[in-house]
Structure 1
Amino acid sequence: MTTAQVGEERPPAGRRDAEASKAAIVRATRHLLARHAHADITLKAVAERAGVSPPLILKYFGNKDALFTSVMDFEADVDALLDAPLEELGRHMVRSVLAGQAERGADPILRIVFAPLHGEQGEILRANFRTQVSERLAARLPGADAGLRAELAVSAVVGLGVMYGIARGPQVRAADIDDVVERYAPAVQAQLNG
């Protein structure tokens, strides 16, 4: 008997396809949210970009508002951003944002930059960002001014991400990522250390 016959722990093909479809829908929605106002994005546009049908989006997410609410959550993204010991966190955060831009053409944390485009949904995005990113980082930092230092550290990496991925600064984009990390991470780490 093979491991597949014994009961290998892989999800059924339909489940893998469903997970891939959901991931494609989320990626497509994030892409569109970074370029258009919430009110201007249709389920049809999301479906076309994701390579699925609009009814499939409704099946997985219920409605447009539920889809956008799920996309405006930063929990999973901040797990990756903050996944390092405190003494190495500045380097990790800088590398994470740059690698996301260089390898995937996007960094999920940078969605906050587009909050002004989204009206009421932008307020949800801002509130989620504050609690799920800035406040979560602050909880890891020592000192009475941890909240301020967390916001300054996050500001630094978001600003770098904007220069790299949105403004497309030619010097930053041409530089080796390791070089940028060496130059930039100490400023971020200084805020984290206090």
Structure 2
Amino acid sequence: MQPQNIPSRDSIHRAAAELFVRDGYSGTTVRGIAAAAGCDPALVIRHFGSKEGLFLATVSVSSELPRILAGPIESIGRELVRFVLDASDRPVAGIYRAMLTASDRPEIKQRLRSSMHDVFVAPLADRIGGAFPELRARLVAAQFAGLINAYWLVADPVLSRADRPAIVALYGDAIQRLLDSDDPVAGEA
């Protein structure tokens, strides 16, 4: 049983999640996390090893993506776009921004790659036919990430003010084309 005056690992985890989302990776310090959790910075390090270790234990991709990717294949493009537009003010957007700003660190870059593969590419590739299922899934992921960057990270003012149904139709159908189009003829470019 933990003494009353020492915050639990979960308390540190919750404080870190809030600060990473609010302040980003570089704007969050172990001291700040410890202060928010009400503990000594040494306790943060004891539980998580480092700021990077705590970050990797704290951030994750949205749990909504597996649901979207498991949905009807013919509507995945538009559903992915709706997700980006609808989630721009939710914590998932802050988590993504924090992950992106920390992606210069090798462990975090590897975690991003692994997460993208495990959560997005592999499940989608398993559902796509044709000669290039993994390539198509990775290209869908790249288009999805492009919209996230423009909408959540850069906050493109034209996109922010644009007609949402038009964005869903235009960009969603562009993503869907990667899923539905015929395979290219070998050597044709």
TM > 0.5 fold call: yes
Equivalence for 2:134? 147
Q: Secondary structure at the match of 2:155?
A: coil
Give the whole-Å Cα distance in 2 for the aligned partners of 1:83 and 1:109.
21
Alignment gaps of 5+ in structure 1: 1-17
Q: Distance in 2 between matches of 1:135 and 1:107?
A: 24
Change beyond 3 A, Cα 1:73–1:164: closer
* Distance in 1, Cα, partners of 2:131 & 2:98: 29
Change (3 A) 1:144 1:30: farther
TM-score (structure 1 length as normaliser):
0.68
CA distance in 1, matches of 2:123, 2:40: 36
Match of 2:88 among 101, 104, 114: 101
Residue of structure 1 aligned with 2:106, choices 119, 124, 127? 119
Residues 1-194 of structure 1: matches in 2 within 5 Å? Answer: 22-23=13-14, 25-32=16-23, 34-36=24-26, 41-47=28-34, 51-54=36-39, 58=44, 62-64=48-50, 65-74=52-61, 76=63, 78-82=65-69, 84-104=71-91, 106=93, 108=95, 113-114=100-101, 116-194=103-181
Which structure features the higher share of helix residues?
A: 1
Q: Give the letter aligned to residue 28 of structure 1.
A: L
Structure 1 residues 154, 111: closer, same or farther in 2, change over 3 A?
Answer: farther
Query: Aligned partner of 1:86: which letter?
Result: I
Distance 1:170 1:86 in 2: 31
Could you tell me whether the CA contact under 8 Å between 2:19 and 2:28 is conserved in 1? no
Matched to 2:57, the amino acid is S
Structure 2: where are the runs of 5+ without partners? Answer: 1-8, 182-189
C-alpha distance in 2 between matches for 1:137 and 1:27 = 30
1:144, distance to aligned residue in structure 2 (A)? 2.1
| RMSD (Å), alpha carbons | 3.5
Structure 2 vs 1, CA of residues 41 and 22 (structure 1 numbering), >3 Å: closer, same or farther?
closer
TM-score (norm 2): 0.70
| Aligned counterparts of 2:89 and 2:171: Cα–Cα separation in 1 | 16
- 1:89 and 1:106 map into 2 onto residues whose CA distance is 20
Q: How has the CA–CA distance of structure 1 residues 107 and 72 changed in structure 2, closer, same or farther, with 3 Å as cutoff?
A: closer
